[in-house]
Amino acid sequence: MPTTTIAGQEIHVDDDGFMTEYDEWSEDLAKELAAAIGIGELTEGHWKTINFLRDDYKEQGETATLRRVTASGGIPTKELFQLFPKKPARKMSYVAGLPKPVGCV
């Protein structure tokens, strides 16, 4: 499994750069990951989404799709596109330190 260094920490990633080890993630790392993809300061809305994704991943064993975040997380799709512009499912799972959602290109 490939690794990369982010914020001085060695992180296991897949071939697309998504983290593969759930426990390597931290809030400080999330800030670094967000900055790397052009998202500035993480707001309350970002954290709500990130925390839902991480909690859901622990329960379900896979990264939630955009539809699941909207339906189960109660976060409107329009808001997700504002928080994580262009490809929100991909970006929010990246910042949350989770694998890319199934079916996400």
Provide the annotated active-site residues. Answer: 104
Helix (H, G, I), strand (E, B) or coil at 100: coil
Residue 40 identity: G
Q: What is the CA radius of gyration of the chain?
A: 13
To which H or E segment does residue 44 belong? helix 44-60
Nearest to 36 by CA among 7, 58, 9, 15: 7
Beta-carbon contacts of residue 81 (< 8 Å; ≥ 6 apart): 88
Q: Which two tokens stand for residue 81?
A: 């596109």
